Structure formats: structure tokens, C-alpha cells
Amino acid sequence: MEKRIINPPTLAPPKGFNHGILVTGGQLLFLAGQDASDAKGRIVAPDDLVAQFEQVLLNLKAVVEAAGGTMQDIVKLNVFVRDRADYVAKLKPLGQVFRSYFGEYYPTMALFEVSNLFQQEALIELEGIAVVGGE
């Protein structure tokens, strides 16, 4: 699989994401929305956005690896948060958690503030697309 990062000079330079990723080869893996649920379906760290974000990434990693991929195979993420201001206030620790899973790679991303998520205690949910395999 080959990925080419697309960041046109006519757009503002991206920080923490890429504007586009062109992929050839591989298989599409659609990632369902993952919240901070543990293996028993309970939300971890009910009042801690950063801890929930880490659990969400662990959940995404489990799905991607079960399909034979890695976190760097994720090309698109949609981030849904209950409180955008809280998310922005915690960008630094969230970024540290993000880099511990993705390194210096950034998929395309969008952030949405929503009034609620499926689980009442969930503060964040991510869903997206990965492209795995293709060798």
C-alpha cells in the first residue's frame, strides 16, 4: 500500500492532521464509532477526557490490528466530543496520547461537538477509515 500526503499550499498548513491522503492498494476497513468502553462495556474514567481518549485509541487499535493493520493505516478519523472547549483546553495532553499511538503520522481528521453520545458518561468518540494490506 502506498500513501501520499496531500497538503495544498493554497490551504492553511495543517497542525495535528493532514488535508488529504491519497492511497493506492490495500483494503478499506471502516471503523465503527469507539467510545471509552472497556471490555465489559463500561466507560472508563467518566470525568476524564484524556483518559477516555486513550481508551478510545486502545479500542481503535484493537480493531485495526485484528484486521492485520497498524494505527498508521488509519487515513480518516472523525472526532466527536461533548465539550469542544474542554477538548481545546486539553490539546497538549491529548496530543501526547495521540503521538503515543500514531507517532508523527497524522490522518485526515474532523472534530464535531455533539450534545450527547450513546453512553451517557462518554465524553469522546472516534470513528474512521483505515486502509490495510495491499503488499
Quote the CATH superfamily of domain 2-132. RutC-like (3.30.1330.40)
The mean per-residue pLDDT over the stretch 99-110 comes to 96
How does pLDDT run across 1-33, given as a tens digit for each residue? 888 999 999 999 999 999 999 998 999 999 999
Amino acid at 5: I
Say what the pLDDT of residue 1 is: 80
Length of the chain: 135
Q: What is the pLDDT of residue 114?
A: 98
The predicted model scores a pTM of 0.92
